[in-house]
């Protein structure tokens, strides 16, 4: 036993003598570097571990605070909705900015529970433009060409517009400034087709009349779809028409009176050849009037 122990000591002594005779400083330096790397890795791991666990603890504390705050309020966690997967993107086609959004409607499976409501979910179509404020929500407010270029739309008057072709007005590119990204809906406007909606009506027995306007064909994009409701016109500039007094009667009686008035006007315009023909025509008109009444 003693011999075996002495042999082991001899081996250790030989190993130490071998190490100590060959660059002792370099060996100790490598050992110190290895210990330093191990200690640094442990400290870095401990720091990141503490940061992650601390963030999780703060998030849990915030959630617990919200739960405590709304503990007595009604939530929708118990409500059952009809599953909807696709968003409706109809407002993404011709709009831009905050008015362009996709939505999906979550309807309730049953209306029996009065604590549940339908949910309408919305997301923006062009988040990049909104985050970087690279859009004008309503170009109509800045573009003078848009305001005055379409008859019956915005500030432009109708003036008996009878255009059949579609009118397209381009945007003034100087209005974009230094912007490098624009949306197609900011580049031009297609005018709506506007026509008068019935005859003009007088306002407060004055000289002005109000002409209603209706949209025959929608424009593009969204702010140019519809014509304006109407415009004020000068009654003295309107063409004069023959007026007839009406009494409470059927529409057929009014039509008969209009027809007779037109015949009398025609009689005044067409000059007869002699007095006999004039008397004959007057008698014929009176007989027709008696038959119709």
Query: What does the block give as tokens for 200?
Result: 């003009």
**Dihedrals φ, ψ of 59, to 5°?**
-65, -40
Q: What is the pLDDT of residue 260?
A: 40
pLDDT of 49-58, one tens digit each? 999 999 999 9
Alpha carbon 38 to its chain centroid, in Å, reads 59
Please write down the long-range contacts of 39-45, taking CB distance under 8 Å and 24 or more positions apart: none
More confident residue, 11 or 111: 111
Q: What is the pLDDT of residue 53?
A: 93
DSSP 192: P
3-state secondary structure of 205: coil
Mean per-residue pLDDT, 10-24: 71
Residue 138: name the closest of 128, 146, 148 by CA: 146
**Dihedrals φ, ψ of 212, to 5°?**
-75, 145
- Which of the four pLDDT bands, split at 50, 70 and 90, describes residue 288? low
Q: Are 150 and 192 in contact (CB under 8 A)?
A: yes
Q: What is the pLDDT of residue 293?
A: 40
Q: What is the pLDDT of residue 237?
A: 67
Q: Give CA angle at 250 (244, 252), nearest 5°.
A: 75
Cα separation, 157 vs 145, whole angstroms: 14
- Going by C-beta distance under 8 Å and a sequence separation of 6 or more, which residues neighbour residue 289? 260
Flag whether pLDDT at 208 surpasses 80. yes
Percent of the chain beyond pLDDT 90? 25
Query: What does the block give as tokens for 75?
Result: 């939530």
DSSP 151: T
Flag whether pLDDT at 214 surpasses 70. yes
- Which of the four pLDDT bands, split at 50, 70 and 90, describes residue 72? confident
Q: What is the pLDDT of residue 249?
A: 43
Bond into 238 cis (ω within 30): no
Percent of the chain beyond pLDDT 70? 72
Other beta carbons within 10 angstroms of residue 140's beta carbon come to: 15
Q: Which of 140-144, 169-173, 281-285 has the highest mean pLDDT?
A: 169-173
Cα separation, 133 vs 98, whole angstroms: 10
Q: What is the pLDDT of residue 247?
A: 41
In whole angstroms, how far apart are CA 46 and each of 51, 59, 77, 286?
A: 9, 20, 39, 115
């Amino acid at each position: 036993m003693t011999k075996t122990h002495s042999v082991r000591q001899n081996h250790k002594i030989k190993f130490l003598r071998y190490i100590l005779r060959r660059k002792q400083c370099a060996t100790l330096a490598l050992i110190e570097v290895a210990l330093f790397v191990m200690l640094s890795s442990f400290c870095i791991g401990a720091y990141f571990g503490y940061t992650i666990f601390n963030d999780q603890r703060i998030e849990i504390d915030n959630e617990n605070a919200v739960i405590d705050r709304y503990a007595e309020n009604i939530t929708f966690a118990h409500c059952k909705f009809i599953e909807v997967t696709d968003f409706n993107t109809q407002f993404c086609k011709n709009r831009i900015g905050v008015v362009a959004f996709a939505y999906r409607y979550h309807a309730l499976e049953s209306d029996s529970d009065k604590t549940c409501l339908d949910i309408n979910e919305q997301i923006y179509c062009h988040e990049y433009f909104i985050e970087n404020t690279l859009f004008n929500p309503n170009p109509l407010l800045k573009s003078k060409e848009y305001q005055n270029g379409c008859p019956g739309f915005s500030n432009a008057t109708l003036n008996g517009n009878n255009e059949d072709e579609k009118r397209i007005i381009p945007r003034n590119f100087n209005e974009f400034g230094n912007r490098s990204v624009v949306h197609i809906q900011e580049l031009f406007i297609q005018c709506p087709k506007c026509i008068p909606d019935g005859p003009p009506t007088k306002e407060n027995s004055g000289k002005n009349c109000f002409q209603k306007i209706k949209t025959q064909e929608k424009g593009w994009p969204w702010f140019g779809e519809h014509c304006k409701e109407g415009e004020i016109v000068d009654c003295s500039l309107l063409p004069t028409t023959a007026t007839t007094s009406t009494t409470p009667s059927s529409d057929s009686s009014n039509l008969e009176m209009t027809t007779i008035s037109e015949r009398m006007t025609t009689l005044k315009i067409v000059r007869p050849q002699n007095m006999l023909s004039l008397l004959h025509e007057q008698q014929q008109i009176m007989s027709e009037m008696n038959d119709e009444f």
